[in-house]
Structures are given as structure tokens and as C-alpha cells.
Structure 1
Amino acid sequence: MRDPPDSALATQWYRLEGSGIRRRGDLMLATWIGTQADASFAEAWKADAPPTHASARSKVYLSPKLWYLRLTVIEAQDTLTAPPPRESGISVRAVHGFQVLKTRAAVNRNGGPLWNEDLIFVAAEPFEDERLVLSLEIRYGKEIVVVGSAGIPLSSVERRVDDRKVASRWLDLIPNDEIKKGNRKGAAGSLHGGRLHVRVCLDGGYHVADEPPNASSDFRPSARQIWRPPVGMVELGLIGCKGLLPMRTVDGKGSTDAYAVAKYGPKWARTRTVADCFDPAWNEQYTWPVYDPCTVLTIGVFDDPPLSDPSKDSPSISRPLGKVRIRISTLEAGRIYRGCYPLIMMLPTGAKQMGVIELAIRFAPAGPTLDLLGVYGKPMLPLMHYVHPIHALQRDNLRLTAARLTATSLARSEPPLRREVATWMLDATDPRGFSMRKVRANWHRIVSALSWVANMVRWIEYTRTWRNPTTTLLVHAVVVLLAWYPELIVPTLALYIAVVGVWKYRQRLRGPVPHPCARASLAEITDREELDEEFDPMPSIKTAEVVRTRYDRARTVGSRVQTILGDVAVQAERLQALVTWRDPRATGLFLVMCVVVAMVLYLVPSRVVAVAVAFYYLRHPLFRDRLPSRVFNFFGRLPSMSERII
């Protein structure tokens, strides 16, 4: 036992012995018992580590620093001595690593092509050997001719943290070899390199996201000089797992070599691999600075495959065993949460629990409580996301690109963090297709979130039908009170909401909400056919008959959506038809009623009108008619555009 943990290691020589070995030798080792607080813990080999794994030790990784590389293609000059045919298109292709973007076809201005189009790439530090290659292309029917190309070293690109305009530059396009040789018939004499006018910069005012928006662990921009100070520290203890399922068969029995990966912000923590154990114990602790409490800590458990497995059906990649996400804002300050969380995987056969993971987590604020509460009033994203926002479709593509760059960088570390592990933790794997299960789950989420509206409508109907006369009479009294003292409406509403919140404090959750939730995901009642459709890649690999059946089912669902959209359009058009004179009698009657209402509200005090309307709405059922009211009858007779749709 090393005490103190920073003392010198006690080394000792051990003789190598074995039968049938002519040469013998000695091996110097230092065996000791210690904890993660020991400085030699990370470099030491553990007794439970698998002997065939070269990366079985725990390690902390850092994601590469990512920037948005913005290229503005403005115009080109001296590229054509003769105008191209009308059916041809001139565009610029930009290449940065595996990222390839292309501008739209140029418009002609003063005899030269003009674009004024932004192309955004994701770039990872360091930039010494990175280049942005631009090519001017002309399309002649199905054939594309590269007129010239130019390269920009990223180390020479200006960095900015706001929306100021950087200086533009002219690039000399180097002619293509085929253009130089004149191999293209009829075009060799009319094409040459020319110049390209561009504006390029590294946008440091954006947060380059590599995680999904609902599970982001960081919102800081790329430029360090505009970071906010941390508001706290989150401490995570990875205790171990229990009841893990076997992931492979070795010597006729199941085996699992499990390790855990925790990710928060740019810091990744990987535990050591525990060999051939279904109840691994890690007992490792890691900390992260917290810059925004409304972020998510992600923990994943994986099976580490051996380098050489005699089993033929054993996978050569790290297979996930489950994922847990904990939102930092759900943790009380200074409280230690320790518990077991289920590891659930959604497989083509349905939801399956792969085991449970035991965690201990604590959030410790770094300053006064007011500083932490002040974060809730600040924007989540940096200023540039609101001043110069990026389109939603473009953001998704940039996120997948950033995740790929992060996974590539971590895979080059020593020991490496496997690429499939990083992409699965970042939810950047191959996207699934349409999922009826998720459609129903989202619908249930909407219904659950708006259940209070249904309860309120139900209570109002219960009150106006006089099922409880005492409640209805009290509502009459409240209406009179609020009508005569309207200044009490807003305070009464705020006090009511406060009382509801205090009442629900007793029903609050005592710990972090586990992720994922099989019940909320409707994973327990999903049909096998729907699961098979959900895991079918795009394009589909199923037979034509299966695809036709699913297509018909999708058309059935689409027809229902089409009907709902049509009903919404009808109601909106009827509301618009009140003043458009499509039905002259209805519009005239509506305008007359507007004038009458205006005169009544002008002559009669508003509090009297409010009480009269409320009493009329709450009148006893003896004074009601079972037919719809005249207002609904009038609105239902208004015209719409449905009769004009083919």
C-alpha cells in the first residue's frame, strides 16, 4: 500500500522461469495497491486488465478545437475571353479535407460571373498543414471543365469574433493541365485561369456543435477570449456495472470486457477495461468545469473486443452496451447523487436492458448562488448565432462534419479512443429512417405536456354545466370581483401559478431523471414490423414487396395528415373570409355586428359587459339550447378555398 501516494515506487527484480526455456532473465516490477489519487495510477497496469488489450488503461482525451471556416465567393474576372453558351453554368467548388461544397450557378454582371455566396466548413486545429482548395468549373451539358484552381493555407486566414467584414482577396487561378494542352475541342482557345475574388475568415464567435442540440454539453464559442467564467464543477464517480450481458463467446462461454466513457464539453474520460466480468468495478472519479448548468453529461458503456479473437463471429469493433445522460441543471448544488441507472439499447428485436451502471455525481457551484441564477437570463449560444444565424439544415450537416472530425482526432490518440465509440457518443452514426414509434412517442409527449389545457377545459365545462353548484356560484363571485377590480387579475394569476409550483415541490424527483426511458419512448409496446422499418437503412435493403407495403402504410398516415392540414386551412380561410367579401351577405352582417359591438362597448362600462358575458356563458342548463350557438353556425357557413382545390 503506497502511503503517501506520491512516494517512490518500490521496484524489485523477478526471475523469469518456465519449463523448456534455455534462456532466462530477470524482470524489474513495482507492484503496489493504490487509488486514482496516485500519480502513477494512470500509467500502471491493473490486475483485472485483459492481457490482449493494448488500450485497456484509463485515459483522459480532449476534443480538437473546432472553428467555422467561412468562405464568401464574390466574383471572378478574366476567366473567359468569350462568353460561354447560354445553357452552360459557371460555379466554384471548394474542398477542405473530406468536405466538398459548391456554389450555385453564377449570374452574369458586366460580362463576368457573380455569386456573393457563403460556404461554411468545419476546421480543426492545428492549421499548419491545412489548405482550402478552390476550383472554377464550367458545365457544358454533362461535361464539367475545370478552368483553374487556387489554394489558401488556413494558417494565413484571418480570425474574427464578431460580424465585422474581413478584407477580401484576389486569387490567381492556376489553369488546368488539359486547358494548357488544349485537349478540349473548341474550348481551349477561350479558357484560361483568371482571378477569383473571395473573402475568407475563421469565425470564432460561433459554437461549433458536434453533439445533438438536446444533449449538448457545451455552448462556448471557438474564440477563447469571449468565454464566460465557469459557474461550477461537476464531479462524476464511475463505480461500476452490474448484470451486463455477454457480448461474445470465448471457449464456449460468454464474455464481456467492459469499459465506460464519459463526455462533457471537450473532455472525454475513459475508464480501464475490466476483462471477462459481467459486474465490472472501476471506482474512478473525474471532474469537469461547468460553464452553463443547462448542459448534459453523457456516459456510455462499451465492450472492448480483443485484438485477436479466435471466434469467427466476434465483432472487431467496440459494441455499445447503453448510454446514460444526466442534465446538470437537475442536480441540487452540493448534493451527492448515487444510484443505478439502466443501460437500455434499442435493437431490431425491441428494447433490451444490457445491465445497470452505478454512478455518483455531484455539482459544486464555484461562486455565489446569484451568479449561478444569473446564467438563466443569458442567451445559451454566443452572439453570432443571433446576429448572423446559420440555416437549420446547414447546422445539421455541420454538426455531423464536426463529429466526424472529433472522432478522427480521438482515434489518432495513443492509446486511441475508437472512432465508432466517439460517433456513437455524439449521436453521429448513420441516421435511421422514418420511425412510427417516434411519431407516436412525440404525440404522447405533446398530449402529456398539454394535459393541463385539457384539464382546464374539462373543469370549465364541469363548472358551466352546474354539476357542483357551490363551485359555479364561487366562480360567479370571482368574476364579479375581478371585473370590478381588474388590477387584481395579473397578481391573482401569478399567485395561483406560485401556489401550484409550491404544491408540486413535494412531488419533485429526488434524483436525476434516467436516460433513456423505455416507457416514454414506447419501446415496450412497439410492433416488430415497425422496428424492422426503423432499422432499415436508407436506401432500403428490403424486398420490393416489403417496401411497397410500408409505402402504402406511409401513404395512409400521410392521408390523415393531409386531412388535418386541410381542416386547419379551412378554418384559417373562413377567418380571413370575414372581411374579404367572398360572401357579401356574411361579410356585411359581420361588419354590422362589429359596429354594434363597438357602440355597446363605448356606451356600456366594460366591467358590466364582462360580467354579463361571463354570466351568460355560465347560465344554468335550463336556459341553454342543445343546438350549437349562432356564432359557431355563422362561422361554419363562411366560404373557404376547399371547393377550388382539385
Structure 2
Amino acid sequence: MGDKEASAPNPDDFKLKDTNPQLGERWPHGGVRGGHGWIGADRATSTYDLVEQMYYLYVRVVRAKDLPVNPLTGSCDPYVEVKLGNYKGKTKHFENKTNPEWQQVFAFPKQKIQSTVLEVYVRDRDMVGRDDYLGKVVFDMNEVPTRVPPDSPLAPQWYRLEVRRGETKSKGEVMLAVWMGTQADEAFPEAWHTDAASVHGEGVYNIRSKVYVSPKLWYLRVNVIEAQDVEPNDKSQPPQVYVKAQVGLQILKTKVCPTKTPNPFWNEDLVFVAAEPFEELLVIEVINKVNSKDELMGKISLPLTIFERRLDHKAVHSRWFNLERFGFGALEGDRRNEQKFSTRIHLRVCLEGGYHVLDEPTMYISDTRPTARQLWKQPMGILEVGILSAQGLQPMKKKEGQPSSTDSYCVAKYGQKWVRTRTIIQNFNPKWNEQYVWEVYDPCTVITLGVFDNCHLGDNDKSKKDTRIGKIRIRLSTLETDRIYTHSYPLIVLQPSGVKKMGELQLAVRFTCLSLSTIIYQYSRPLLPKLHYVHPFTINQLDNLRYQAMNIVAIRLGRAEPPLRREVVEYLLDVDSHIWSMRRSKANFFRIVSVCSGMLAMSKWLGEVCQWKNPITTVLVHILYFILTCYPELILPTIFLYMFLIGVWNFRYRPRHPPHMDTKLSWADAVNPDELDEEFDTFPTSKSADVVRMRYDRLRSIAGRIQTVVGDIATQGERLQALLSWRDPRATCLFTVPYRHLQYRVLFVQEHGHRVKLSKSH
């Protein structure tokens, strides 16, 4: 029992913690520290004022010339080795090249420098492993210049190679630049870091920080109107035709034309997701169903660039397209590949620019702009996020003969911009101190950040997946403008064994307002562009289109270098948010109960008033009721006054930091093992028949109770409608007559008040 209590998670571990990072040293005037954040009235305009300042020794290796060749092999395969104490970094080697060019930067953290000299060696690679020594250049650390942006970049210089200190080699020079700088240096993202000392080959590129941009997504609407001259191979049977359309991996079909005619008519809309630049083709096939088999009647492939781009709901012009049909069969001989006219099809195709292509859940949306850039407004704010560090990360990988380790990096997604920090090798408390900026077009949006373990360092096995460590979300509408929030966010993950804290992510966040009036105006507008409400999609269409959009984004970002892997994109976009689970159902039920608790408390209070439990309250309520009955025009002002007083009263209890995941609200801390096993089950299920039968019966019992509640709600609504239908004459009469009397009374009061005003004015 004691062990269980010791292993139980502490609820305080799941709460947000205020931190005090050393950010003031980046500000010339120190800044002003408030009780719950920085108030930066005098803050510096540097783009790196939200992170702790870190100094690095940068070594830029540009090129070499006139390198000596090996007298035995007659060739030179040069590479450069940069050595600083116990740290070494190597460039790639060139085969048989005496004038190589590397253009590579090395970065060494200042706090890890334990040597007074920097040595740059030029070596000749030997296949046996004994690399020849061509020469070196030595720098004294006390003479290295310091460069702080926005200073101009330091120009590289030619240095003659030395055999020993002070002894110049007769041949060979190398171009170098050495300086001391910060992480704000433009060389920082592309630099080789000492954290990658154990990484070789392609794995080096997997640890660098990168900025990615999501592809520009469009909705492609294909209106299949009709076809003409559809001639089946068997002319004795009338055709039963449908149309299949394909864009990339997306395939949609129309219904089979109800009339068996050579001129079928459909007038159906098929909607796809397309990414710019358009690489896929729109493939249209007219297919005839013959005895449960499909017979291809014609086909055409169309590039997406030929279609009109629509910004509103106005109709676009339709076009006729001639389909192509090729002969098949052994008897046709050489005519098998001959193109023959088959039929033609009538289409109305356009690229919808007035919609926002949803690739993430609407509740956690980070961008609401339509696809067409012509419809964008000016940004109303700037979001700056400093990804400082992580604390207490759990070991994610275990190697034989070696202690467990974690190679962590952080990914942030807001709008179309994705950022990825560099990977810190074998460190449970990594420090990134990287800052990124986004433009804000809607304050009611959310930024998502995730921490992952890199499983592809020096390993080209694509079957491996980067492990999830945790994810957080910050809603911009909960942030005060021009204030820096410095908090440590717990990384909470639900595992088959239960909810677990995987560590903490320390961030500094600032939301800067550019136009207060625009932000306030944005609150009066709907969340999505107008076309989503004028011509909405069905629920099934939205689910399918969102899945296709996520798939396209994952494929395109996976083709970058280094790739942003599919499992990372899917985790940040919540690819599995639609899957049912008992835990989510319970959480949503209790959320509804919490929302309705105010109404239940109000009804209980009215019951106590009716029972005269507190005579003073009952008398005051009757007086208020009498006043509102005599002056019904005071009903709405009284309600608004009451709401105003509640808002003023709750001002002193306002939240002082952004909201974070609540394990009680999500029901993650009270879910039982079987429900967790069901939530982590694959889709379709991989469990045995007995387990599936038990869960199906349990789902039926829950659905039966939901069905009863929904039926009761529908019954009450039908009763309310029946009050005016004279289904029950007495009930309708009792409801209508007092309502009409009250209406006359309101008209009388309004008319009487108008006459009183007229008499006073006269």
C-alpha cells in the first residue's frame, strides 16, 4: 500500500509553474518585472530578448587551395578537423581535389570551452584509416573577436598551413573565420554543434533547427454534370454509368445514374484537397457497371493549373472534355494502343479560394485565413515564443551496454509556419534558448508545441518513429498583450499504464498588439471565412477533407531536408482526435454537467424561495417580480446589470497565467485499465472476439442511456411546440390567453410612457 501511494502522481506536478529565467540581461534598461510576467515598456527590440543569452565560438571553414598531394597515391582527399580541447568536429571529405570548398560552420558553447587554443587541422583521408597530416592553423582564444548581431558578418581570411607552431608549410592555405557570438547569429541554425559529436553522416542534418512552411492548400470542387455518347461494349444492355475522380491518393465516386441511358446525368459535387505547387493531375474516368464488374468507358487526365480560381460563391463556367479510350484485347493487335474517341463529359471545376482548408481541429485552430491571398487582412499582432529548456525528461531509449538516454527536440506549429529546434544529444535537461516569431491574424487561435525524442541520429532506418514526449497548447486569447509570460509547462502523456508526467517545458511567450481596434473587431466576426457558412460542407465531407489535408501536409513536410517526420505532424495536428473512447465520453458528459450546474443551482434556489426557507429573500423576490410585471421593459436591463455585477465581482479572481491541461477535466487520472486498453487499441481492433463482445455490450448499454436522454429532450421540445398547435385545446387556451394579455399590457405601458414623455415635452 505504501508503494502504491509513493508511486501515485502528485496533482501539483500537473500544474503550471512560474519561472524566473535570466532574460533581463538582454535588455539594456533591465525591463520591469511584474508579479506574473515581464512588462516590457523599455525592452530591447532584439529578436532574441525572450531567451537566455548563450555565447558560442564559431568557426567557419570556407575553402582551401594548393594542398599537397600524397607522393604514393598521387591524389589528395582533404577534409578539415576542428579541435577545441576534448571536442572535435569534421567536415566532409573530397576525393582527389586540391582546391576543395566546404562552406561549413562549427559552434562550441562558451561554458564548455576548457582550452586556451583552437586548432584547425587539414588532413588527407586514407582508406586504411591512417589519415595524413597536411597542416594546421592555431588560434589563441584570448585573441578571438566578439561579434554581436546586428554587426556585419566577419570576413574569412586565408591562413597558411603550419607543420608546427610558428613553422610555416611550404604549400597549402585554408580560408577561415573565427569569432565569438550568440545564438542570434545567422550562422547558428546551420552550424555543427558539439552536441552532435557522436553523430555522423546524415544524422548530423537531423539535429539542426529548421523552419518549415506548410504547403498552400486549396479545395478542388469538381461538379460532374453529365456525359454524352456513352457506348458500352455490349450494346444489347443499356449502360449503368458512374464517374470516378482521382487527385493523388484521393478517390471519389458519383452515384450510379438512375436512368439507363447513353446520356447520363448526375450534377454531383466531388471535393478534393490540392496542394500548391500542383503536382497531381485530376483523373476522370467514366465507368459502366456490368454484372457487378466495372468497364472503363473513357478517361482523361487534366492538370489543375487550367482550372479557374474562385474567391466567392459565384458560378464558374462549365466545360466539355473529350474522354480518351484505348482498345483492349488480343484480337486488336497493333491497334491496342491506338487512341479512339469514346465519349465526352460535362464538368464544372474550380479551385476554392474563399475557404480555409482545415488540417487541424477547429477547437485548436491556429489559422483562419482563406486560401486566396487577396482575401487576407493585415496582421493584428505578433506572437513571439522563446523555447528555453526542458527539465526532468524521462529516458526514451535504452541501448544494450549503455545507459538510457533522450535526444530531444521541440516542434512548434502556428499558422502555416512550423519550427523545429536543434536536437540536444543525451541530455535529460536540454537547453535550446531559441526564439521564433509569428504574425497573428486572429486572436482566437492556438499555438501547439510538442517535444519528441529523435530516433534517426546516424540511422537511415525509415521504419523508426520519433517518440512523443509531450504536447502543450496556448490559446492567444488568454494572453494579455505586451506582457512576457515565463512558465514551466508540464508534459503530460496518457499511456496504457495511465497518465504520466514526462518532464517540463520552459517557455517565454509574448503577444504584441499592433491594432487594438482590429482585435476587438475580430471578436464580432465568425471564426472561419464567410463561405464556410454560406455554402457549408457536410460533417462527413469535413472529416474526410481534414484527413486528406493532414496527409498532404505530412507528405510535403516529410520531403524537406531534414524532414519533419509524419508522426510529428500527425501528433501536432491530432490525427486521432475523432476516435471514440470511454474516457473522452465521460469527460464530455461531466463538462456538460458542469455547464448546466448554474441552471440546476438556480432552480434549487427558486425552490427554496417558493418554500419560504428565507422569508426576507422570498419577499424581495416577490417585490422584484411585481416590479418586472408592472414594468416589463426593465427585464433585459436587470439581466444585463446582474451579469455586469457578476463580471466585476469575478475580476479579482481572474486567471494570472495561461490555462493548461487539467487531468481531472479530461478524466485522465480516474480512467480504469480496461478503458485505457480500449483507447489504445488499433483501428480496426486487434483484440480477441470475447473482449470485443464485452466492449460492444458495454457500448450498447451506454448508447441506450444516451438514447433515452435524447428521447426525453425531444419529447419536451415536441410538447413546447404542441402548445400552439391546439393538440390539447385547454393547454393551448391557457398558454395563449395570458400571453395575449401580457402583450396588451406591454403595449399599454409603452404607449402610456410615450404619452407621458410627450406631455412633459409640451
Give the TM-score band, short-chain normalised: 0.7 to 0.9
1:494 matched residue in structure 2: 640
- How many matched pairs? 590
2:214 matched residue in structure 1: 63
2:327 matched residue in structure 1: 177
2:480 match: secondary structure: coil
C-alpha change, 1:580 and 1:329, in structure 2 (3 Å) is: closer
2:404 match: secondary structure: strand
CA distance in 1, matches of 2:188, 2:266: 58
C-alpha change, 1:254 and 1:469, in structure 2 (3 Å) is: same
> Cα RMSD over matched residues?
3.3
Report whether the alignment pairs 1:547 with 2:698.
no
1:626 matched residue in structure 2: none
2:560 matched residue in structure 1: 413
Contact 1:42 1:58 in 2 (8 A): yes
2:506 matched residue in structure 1: 358
CA distance in 1, matches of 2:740, 2:130: 112
C-alpha change, 1:86 and 1:331, in structure 2 (3 Å) is: farther
1:45-124 to 2 correspondences below 5 Å = 45-49=192-196, 51-52=198-199, 53=203, 54-80=205-231, 89-108=240-259, 112-124=263-275
C-alpha change, 1:395 and 1:603, in structure 2 (3 Å) is: closer
Contact 2:59 2:177 in 1 (8 A): no
> Which one has a larger percent strand, Structure 1 or Structure 2?
2
CA distance in 1, matches of 2:633, 2:739: 23
C-alpha change, 1:182 and 1:345, in structure 2 (3 Å) is: farther
C-alpha change, 1:498 and 1:169, in structure 2 (3 Å) is: same
Q: Amino acid of the residue matched to residue 250 of structure 2?
A: Q
2:453 matched residue in structure 1: 303
CA distance in 2, matches of 1:181, 1:206: 51
Contact 1:147 1:176 in 2 (8 A): no
Report whether the alignment pairs 1:506 with 2:652.
yes
Deviation at 1:216, TM superposition (A): 0.7
Contact 1:211 1:426 in 2 (8 A): yes
Residues 272-317 of structure 1, C-alpha deviations (whole Å, 9 max, x = no match): 000000000000000000000000000000000144579x9x9821
Deviation at 1:15, TM superposition (A): 2.6
Structure 1 stretches lacking a partner, 5+ long = 184-190, 609-646
Deviation larger for 107-116 or 26-35: 26-35
C-alpha change, 1:494 and 1:393, in structure 2 (3 Å) is: same
Report whether the alignment pairs 1:217 with 2:366.
yes
Report whether the alignment pairs 1:473 with 2:623.
no
Residues 444-476 of structure 1, C-alpha deviations (whole Å, 9 max, x = no match): 111112221112112111222111111111112
Report whether the alignment pairs 1:133 with 2:242.
no
CA distance in 1, matches of 2:301, 2:431: 52
Report whether the alignment pairs 1:334 with 2:464.
no
Contact 1:13 1:26 in 2 (8 A): no
C-alpha change, 1:316 and 1:269, in structure 2 (3 Å) is: same
CA distance in 2, matches of 1:575, 1:387: 30
2:342 match: secondary structure: coil
Residues 297-338 of structure 1, C-alpha deviations (whole Å, 9 max, x = no match): 00000000144579x9x9821111111100111100101100
Residues 177-198 of structure 1, C-alpha deviations (whole Å, 9 max, x = no match): 3289679xxxxxxx96110111
Residues 606-637 of structure 1, C-alpha deviations (whole Å, 9 max, x = no match): 999xxxxxxxxxxxxxxxxxxxxxxxxxxxxx
Contact 1:293 1:328 in 2 (8 A): yes
1:265-344 to 2 correspondences below 5 Å = 265-307=415-457, 316-344=464-492
Q: Amino acid of the residue matched to residue 329 of structure 1?
A: S
Deviation at 1:339, TM superposition (A): 0.5
Contact 2:612 2:618 in 1 (8 A): yes
Structure 2 stretches lacking a partner, 5+ long = 1-52, 63-117, 137-173, 334-339, 750-762
Contact 2:239 2:262 in 1 (8 A): no
Contact 1:146 1:176 in 2 (8 A): no
CA distance in 2, matches of 1:300, 1:604: 62
Residues 572-614 of structure 1, C-alpha deviations (whole Å, 9 max, x = no match): 55556667787xxxx3444564676579769999999xxxxxx
1:470 match: secondary structure: helix
CA distance in 1, matches of 2:420, 2:192: 15
Report whether the alignment pairs 1:393 with 2:540.
yes
Report whether the alignment pairs 1:246 with 2:395.
yes
User: Normalising by the residue count of structure 1, what TM-score does the alignment of the two structures yield?
Assistant: 0.84
C-alpha change, 1:179 and 1:484, in structure 2 (3 Å) is: farther
1:625 matched residue in structure 2: none
CA distance in 1, matches of 2:232, 2:628: 80
1:297 match: secondary structure: strand
C-alpha change, 1:117 and 1:182, in structure 2 (3 Å) is: farther
CA distance in 1, matches of 2:634, 2:717: 34
Deviation at 1:242, TM superposition (A): 0.3
CA distance in 2, matches of 1:575, 1:503: 36
CA distance in 1, matches of 2:525, 2:737: 48
1:450 matched residue in structure 2: 596
Contact 2:309 2:352 in 1 (8 A): yes
Q: Amino acid of the residue matched to residue 319 of structure 2?
A: R
1:159 matched residue in structure 2: 309
CA distance in 2, matches of 1:529, 1:232: 46
2:195 match: secondary structure: coil
Contact 2:55 2:182 in 1 (8 A): no
CA distance in 1, matches of 2:301, 2:745: 77
Deviation at 1:237, TM superposition (A): 0.4
Report whether the alignment pairs 1:459 with 2:605.
yes
C-alpha change, 1:140 and 1:71, in structure 2 (3 Å) is: same
C-alpha change, 1:137 and 1:452, in structure 2 (3 Å) is: same
Deviation at 1:114, TM superposition (A): 0.4
Deviation larger for 234-243 or 45-54: 45-54
CA distance in 2, matches of 1:22, 1:490: 88
1:235 matched residue in structure 2: 384
1:247 match: secondary structure: coil
Deviation at 1:483, TM superposition (A): 2.5
